Amino acid sequence: MTNLPLKCRCGEVTALATNVSPSSGNRVICCCCDCQAFARFLGREDEVLDAFGGTELFQMPQSQLTIQQGHDKLQSMRLTEKGLLRWYTSCCNTVVGNTVNAKMPFVGVIHTFIDEADRDKVLGPVKAVVQTQYAKGAPDYPKHSAKFPLGVTLRLVGQLLLWKLQGKQKPSAFFSDDGRPVSKPVIASE
Ligand SMILES: [Zn+2]
Ligand SMILES: [Zn+2]
């Protein structure tokens, strides 16, 4: 277990992911169109997406992410009225992560917000590549690629239930106690 530093590009927003280990969350790559569109929305494809359009993220409990400074720079957006709530920093458009809502205990922290060059060491290897049907070109990921690999999906569902039982949706850096996002989401389709 270790505390993983998180930071935006310009350094105004800093945070900690506490008690992190390879088994404390899920390190995955998502190739879906929406994750690609989010990076495009911020003009950060080069930084966020890998050669096949994949976004690497670490799914972990919201309660284990603590903002140290720059909380007011956390900005949310949705690609559509009902989509995932996606987070970035208003100071420098660093892609931060994804949440569903205040009740779903997890946040998918995107690698651009992780201030650690050796992610393998802290988070272990990537466990799955999901939604590869939307990958660009001829995706050449290691063997674990699949739409939704069953093992990883079951693991995540199990973890979500456990985190929920443990109350790990709170405290949240992303939602206030009444369940509202800490910043009003920008809707990209508008
Ligand atoms: Zn910044
Ligand atoms: Zn995605």
Residue 120: per-residue pLDDT: 95
For the beta carbon of residue 167, count every other beta carbon within 10 angstroms.
Answer: 11
Residue 145: per-residue pLDDT: 59
Ligand 1 center from residue 186 Cα (angstroms) = 18
Ligand 1 center from residue 140 Cα (angstroms) = 32
Ligand 1 center from residue 146 Cα (angstroms) = 34
Ligand 1 center from residue 74 Cα (angstroms) = 9
Instruction: Catalogue the E-assigned strands of the chain.
Output: 2-7, 14-20, 26-30, 55-61, 65-69, 74-78, 85-89, 95-99, 106-110, 128-130, 186-187
What is the Cα Rg of the chain in Å?
15
User: In this structure, what token pair is assigned to residue 22?
Assistant: 């390879």
Ligand 1 center from residue 173 Cα (angstroms) = 16
Please report, in tens digits, the pLDDT of each residue of the chain (190 residues total). 899 999 999 999 999 999 999 999 999 999 999 999 999 999 999 999 999 999 999 999 999 999 999 999 999 999 998 889 999 999 999 999 999 999 999 999 999 999 999 999 999 999 889 888 999 988 888 765 566 677 778 888 899 999 999 999 999 999 999 999 999 999 997 6
* DSSP conformational letter for 184: P
Q: For the chain, report the end-to-end CA distance as a whole number of angstroms.
A: 42
Domains annotated for the chain, with CATH where assigned, are: 2-187 (2.170.150.70)
The answer to whether the Cα torsion of 93, 171, 22, 136 is positive or negative is: negative
Entry pTM: 0.94
